[in-house]
Amino acid sequence: MKAKKLLLSLLLIILVMGSACKIKGKEPQKFEAEFIGLFDTLTQVMGYAETQEDFTATVQALKDDLEVYHQLYDIYAGYPGLTNLKTVNEEAGQGPVKVDQKIIDLLLYSRESYQLTGGRANVALGPVTQIWHRYRSQGMDDPAEARLPKKERLEEAALHTSIDDLIINEEEGTVEFKDPLMRLDVGAVAKGYAVEQAARAAEERGVDHLLISVGGNVRAIGARNDQGDLWRVGIENPDYSVTDYLAVVKIQGMSVVTSGVYERFYVVDGKAYHHIIDPDTLFPEDRYLSVSIVTPDSGLADVLSTALFNLDLEAGKNLIASLDQTEALWCMPDGSLVESDGFADLLVDLN
């Protein structure tokens, strides 16, 4: 999650398109909604319903679910009466901390993701990413004084990033750090994982057709309508001077997540440093401008979009090839595109 500069109020804004009343014999109408603040970003929802009231109820239930995950997974802010990941970072080095099952589930998933990606997605990298976060925030606030952290300081912090020091007691529902200097940073997984869980809860409530975007983490529920028309999702171009998407993909019940150098960065001596830290070099690397993932699980998509940033192209291709129903698109430093073997099958022909 991003640090809170100005935490936007959790204001639900319903934007209605089409009829607001049920019309017998008519097709369901298209509606859109936006709300701001959760995961410090903009959430957009698109779907079809017979009435505005039906759609509003669907969106409100989705928002309520996301808000629970937002508060539990926040590492920067506390909430009255709630033990969240900020609490865990502050207290788990002193002994077991009792937490909500949703935190246990996220951390177990994160540990599995660490194994899947060969350590390229490590929620225990917090001691290193916290340093970068402070330097990036200071550099963005005062560009003339932007500086890089010293390599020695990063190396010292990296001594406290072993995921083996994260002790999860499922039976007791507790989390503990064996190394008291370890800290969690779930930015590479929490938002996608939360979107996936909220989408599954919506499906259990009977939602059949919905497109959810939480700060660009996209999850489709079903197809666009009962006729089976697919949702279309544009993949943003990291070059803001270009209005065209890198690609437009068609999906049903899938997720699309992109990580890019343009999302959070600051500039030191004319060079931009983005927010994705390589666990080997402890610095942001310049392998790609963006990496996009299409896969059914939004949590996995979030993890992979970060992990592939920290893998060379061949290793990233091999990882994607090992996973079912998973494709990737790499935007290289020169702007050229590299697709995984099955990515072309997802593309919308815009000609």
Domain that holds residue 259: 12-73+190-346
The span from the CA of 88 to the CA of 97, in Å, is 7
| DSSP-assigned states of every residue in 186-225 | -TTTHHHHHHHHHHHHHHHTT--SEEEEETTEEEEES-SS
Asked if residue 213 and residue 249 are part of one domain, the reply reads yes
Q: What amino acid is encoded at 252 in this protein?
A: Q
Rounded to an integer, the average pLDDT of 174-200 is 97
Asked if residue 333 and residue 279 are part of one domain, the reply reads yes
Rounded to an integer, the average pLDDT of 228-241 is 89
Asked if residue 64 and residue 105 are part of one domain, the reply reads no
Asked if residue 18 and residue 111 are part of one domain, the reply reads no
Our count of domains for the chain comes to 2
Asked if residue 197 and residue 171 are part of one domain, the reply reads no
Q: How confident is the model at residue 200 (pLDDT cuts 50, 70, 90)?
A: very high
Q: How confident is the model at residue 351 (pLDDT cuts 50, 70, 90)?
A: low
pLDDT in tens, 122-149: 999 999 999 999 999 999 999 999 999 9
**3 inside domain:** no
**7 inside domain:** no
Q: What is the DSSP letter of 347?
A: B
pLDDT in tens, 84-111: 999 999 999 999 999 999 999 999 999 9
The span from the CA of 83 to the CA of 89, in Å, is 11
Q: How confident is the model at residue 264 (pLDDT cuts 50, 70, 90)?
A: confident
Angstrom distances, CA of residue 305 to CA of 69, 261, 286, 319, 347: 21, 12, 15, 12, 19
Asked if residue 311 and residue 208 are part of one domain, the reply reads yes
Half-sphere exposure of 153 (CA within 13 A, CB side): 9
Asked if residue 320 and residue 245 are part of one domain, the reply reads yes
Asked if residue 109 and residue 67 are part of one domain, the reply reads no
Residues in the chain: 351
Asked if residue 104 and residue 167 are part of one domain, the reply reads yes
Tokens standing for 243? Answer: 């209005």
Residue 244 pLDDT > 90? no
Asked if residue 205 and residue 326 are part of one domain, the reply reads yes
Q: Mean pLDDT over all residues of the chain?
A: 90
The CATH number that applies at residue 229 is 3.10.520.10
**351 inside domain:** no
**184 inside domain:** no
Asked if residue 320 and residue 273 are part of one domain, the reply reads yes
**51 inside domain:** yes
**6 inside domain:** no
The CATH number that applies at residue 97 is 1.10.3980.10
Residue 239 pLDDT > 90? no
User: What pLDDT shows up at residue 26?
Assistant: 56
Give the end of a domain, one of 177, 211, 242: 177
Asked if residue 25 and residue 96 are part of one domain, the reply reads no
The span from the CA of 212 to the CA of 31, in Å, is 12
Give the end of a domain, one of 142, 177, 212: 177
User: What pLDDT shows up at residue 15?
Assistant: 36
Distance of CA 332 to the CA centre of its chain: 21
Which residues, in sequence order, are CB contacts of 159 under 8 Å at separation 6+? none
Give the pTM. 0.90
